[in-house]
């Protein structure tokens, strides 16, 4: 009797399990959604940053579109990132735009051109300057148009060779760099033409004033958005959302081996082999307090992304790059104390600064000599 009372409930439970298992198996067959292995393979190849620059919500969505043939061409993706006309001519913080100084330079050239047309017999230097300025302004206008979402990027992306070169810019706002150079050239051509009528100096002063005003607005916005260095050393965080900007931009400029998350960096490999008392950062100097007790030279890792130029400024040891892409220091055997590390500009940077200064001096001397020669000839 007792066996009957035990085995009947067990049989009922097993029966229910078999029925439910059969139902689930049938449902799995009927509701099965085939998985494209190509999508998984393509997703593994993509960066995995899910930045949305491709026009899709994430890397998996872009991989699926590539495998199904529904992905938009590169031109359409670039078009989606284009500027609006209002953004191009406006002055919005943290947005690409021409700015007041470049617009003022374009108006100077326009004024010179209208003035030249009003003259009966313009001189040859004036014509040459205005002609060059108009060509520069025309190409600058084309570059500005290419930076907007009104440019036919989708059609351009279908052009076999030229299209691939043009859409490789990824973000069309970058064409404003070319427009900037061309508009500056146009403004200089306008000033060269104005020298013939004596208006060059006051107009140049006006352009400098507008440029200083634009630069002041830019730096004011940069000061308002000043980022702070969090616990991750050099890892930059937004003032408002406090997220890791390096992680957000998929770590394109990080050292090899650096592993970042949304909240900072991760040390995937153990490097520190000494007893660390504290790590403090102040005024660009990182101070490590540690103790070595094994009787052999050991290492300590600091919360600093490694770039060439970090050096030990006080204390023993040398700085090096760890496998985690961070700054490491060697700690001598039986050492107990502090080691200070700071960034020092490499000598080649100072050499580059010297070349820039020397070039500026040579150009100023050449301009002064040319001016003196003209005075003697006059």
**Residue pLDDT, tens place only, 135-187:** 888 898 898 888 888 888 777 777 777 777 777 777 788 888 888 888 888 88
d(CA 336, CA 215): 49
Q: How far apart are CA 64 and CA 68, in angstroms?
A: 6
Contact 254, 307 (CB under 8 A): no
Long-range contacts of 40-45 (CB under 8 A, 24+ apart): 42/66, 42/67
pLDDT tens digits, one per residue of 315-369: 998 999 998 888 899 999 999 999 999 988 888 888 899 999 999 999 989 888 8
pLDDT band of residue 230 (cuts 50, 70, 90) is very low
State the Cα–Cα distance between residues 91 and 99, nearest whole angstrom. Answer: 6
Kindly list the distances between the CA atom of residue 240 and the CA atoms of 122, 226, 243, 273, in Å, as whole numbers in the listed order. 57, 10, 8, 37
The CATH code that applies to domain 270-344 is 2.60.220.10
Contacts of 322 (CB under 8 A, 6+ apart): 257, 269, 271, 299, 301, 306, 328
122 pLDDT above the threshold of 70: no
How far apart are the C-alpha atoms of 42 and 44, rounded to whole Å?
5
Angle between helices 176-194 and 200-224 (to 10 degrees): 150
Handedness of CA 86, 90, 94, 99 (dihedral sign): positive
Return the ∠ at Cα 219 (arms to 213 and 222), rounded to 5°. Answer: 145
The structure tokens 């730096």 sit at 219
- Tokens in use for 195? 């020298």
Q: What is the pLDDT of residue 312?
A: 93
Greatest CA separation for the chain: 132
- pLDDT category at 226 given cuts 50, 70, 90 is very low
Closest alpha carbon to 317 in 298, 342, 302: 298
- List strand residue ranges (DSSP E) for 241-359, in order: 259-261, 264-266, 275-282, 285-291, 298-305, 310-314, 319-321, 326-331, 336-343
Place of tokens 């009372």: 5
Tell me the whole-structure pTM to 2 decimals.
Answer: 0.54
The CA distance from 69 to 58, in Å, is 17
Handedness of CA 48, 265, 267, 307 (dihedral sign): positive
Residue that wins the pLDDT comparison between 329 and 240 = 329
pLDDT value, residue 87: 76
In the DSSP assignment, the letter for residue 148 is B
Assign 54 a pLDDT band (cuts: 50, 70, 90). low
Distances (CA, A) of 128 to 192, 274, 283, 370: 10, 71, 54, 20
Least confident stretch, 1-10, 85-94, 163-172: 1-10
What are the domain boundaries of the chain? 37-71, 80-224, 270-344, 352-378
Here the tokens at position 291 are: 């103790």
pLDDT band at 306 (very low <50, low <70, confident <90, very high): confident
Q: List, in sequence order, every residue forming a beta bridge with 302; answer none if it has no partner.
A: 327
Q: How many helices (H) and strands (E) does the chain have?
A: 13, 11
């Amino acid at each position: 009797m007792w066996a009957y009372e035990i085995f009947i409930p067990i049989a009922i439970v097993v029966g229910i399990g078999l029925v439910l298992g059969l139902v689930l198996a049938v449902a799995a067959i009927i509701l099965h959604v085939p998985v494209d292995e190509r999508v998984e393979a393509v997703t593994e190849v993509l960066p995995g940053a899910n930045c949305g620059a491709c026009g899709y919500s994430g890397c998996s969505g872009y991989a699926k579109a590539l495998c199904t043939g529904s992905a938009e061409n590169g031109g359409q993706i670039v078009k989606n990132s284009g500027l609006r006309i209002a953004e191009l001519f406006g002055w919005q913080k943290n947005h690409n735009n021409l700015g007041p100084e470049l617009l003022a330079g374009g108006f100077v050239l326009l004024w010179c051109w209208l003035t030249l047309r009003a003259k009966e017999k313009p001189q040859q230097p004036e014509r040459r300057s205005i002609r060059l300025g108009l060509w520069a302004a025309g190409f600058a206008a084309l570059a500005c148009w290419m930076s907007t979402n009104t440019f036919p990027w989708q059609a351009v992306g279908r052009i076999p060779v030229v299209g691939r070169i043009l859409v490789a810019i990824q973000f069309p706002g970058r064409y404003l760099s070319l427009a900037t150079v061309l508009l500056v050239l146009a403004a200089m051509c306008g000033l060269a033409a104005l020298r013939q009528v004596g208006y060059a100096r006051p107009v140049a002063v006006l352009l400098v004033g507008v440029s200083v005003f634009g630069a002041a607005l830019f730096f004011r916005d940069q000061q308002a958005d000043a980022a702070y260095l969090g616990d991750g050393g050099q890892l930059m965080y937004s003032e408002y959302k406090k997220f890791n900007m390096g992680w957000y931009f998929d770590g394109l400029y990080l050292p090899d081996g650096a592993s970042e998350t949304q909240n900072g960096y991760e040390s995937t490999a153990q490097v520190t082999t000494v007893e660390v008392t504290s790590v403090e950062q102040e005024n660009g100097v990182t101070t490590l307090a540690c103790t070595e007790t094994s009787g052999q030279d050991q290492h300590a890792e600091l919360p600093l992304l490694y770039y060439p130029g970090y050096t030990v400024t006080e204390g023993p040891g040398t700085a090096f790059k760890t496998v985690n892409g961070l700054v490491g220091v060697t700690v001598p055997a039986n050492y107990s104390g502090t080691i200070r590390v700071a960034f020092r500009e490499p000598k080649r940077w100072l050499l580059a600064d010297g070349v820039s200064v020397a070039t500026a001096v040579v150009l100023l001397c050449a301009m002064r000599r040319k001016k003196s020669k003209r005075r003697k000839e006059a």
